Amino acid sequence: MAKTKELSKDTRKSIVDLHQTGKSESTIGKQLGVKKSTVGAIIRKWKTYKTTDNLPRSGAPRKISSRGVKMIMRTVSKDPRTTRGDLVNDLQRAGTKVTKVTISNTLQRQGIKSRSARRVPLLKPVHVQARLKFAREHMDDTAEDWENVMWSDETKVELFGINSTRRVWRKKNTELHPKNTIPTVKHGGGNIMLWGCFSAKGTGRLIRVKDRMNGAMYREILSQNLLPSVRTLKMKRGWVFQHDNDP
């Protein structure tokens, strides 16, 4: 059966206005091009509820009580990596039997969805403070200033821990909260070491470091790859090399 089109607010108001002038349901229906049964339903709703707006529907009762919702929220807030299966088991132990779909729907109503966890560098407090200090010192630098900076770094391809995608329960715009991220380290578990450089103008050379990195090798890499990259990217005179502070 086809779904009937809902009457506009103006049409419903017109039905009530015409009814109050004493016109019959048939006359109102013909004048507005609406079925007599629909006109009658609108008038009855107005007489009963003093409104023609759609009334809230009760729907099916929630399977999870407000207490259960609070328990779920506490759990995912404490550990965003908690799985739906874990939450189903927690509720079952508390006497409530639900499905994983119900868990997802409940969390979504609270503004929380399952999203892929971001991988971020594992930073110690001293690293955080150093980065914050650097950012504050260069807050007023212009885009032109940054175009004249060449950056470099080296890293291993593989990261430690699980390489597969991990999911977390979180609200929108909280992807970088420590609880919602997977910490990674530069030199853990990789197979090959790479060195590369880049600037706002583009990427420079990327090379493989085959032996253990030391001072002599680092200087050799710079002499053979840094200046050619600067020339290729056509950086201006007085450019700055922002090295990665490798010990």
pLDDT tens per residue, range 182-241: 776 655 555 678 889 999 999 999 999 888 778 888 889 889 999 999 999 999 888 999
Mean pLDDT for the stretch of residues 34-56: 87
Residue 167 bridge partners (DSSP): 116
Nearest C-alpha neighbor of 174 from the set 99, 113, 96: 113
Q: Strand (E) positions, 80-200?
A: 112-116, 118-121, 149-156, 167-171, 181-184, 193-199
pTM over cut 0.95: no
- d(C-alpha 171, C-alpha 113), whole Å: 6
Nearest-angstrom CA–CA distance, 240 and 150: 6
Backbone angles phi, psi at 119, to 5 degrees: -95, 125
- Interhelix angle 25-32/9-20, rounded to 10 degrees, is 140
Confidence of residue 1 (pLDDT cuts 50, 70, 90): very low
Identify which has the larger pLDDT, 117 or 140.
140
Q: Residue 2: helix, strand or coil by DSSP?
A: coil
Q: How confident is the model at residue 178 (pLDDT cuts 50, 70, 90)?
A: confident
**Integer distance in angstroms from the first to the last C-alpha of the chain?**
74
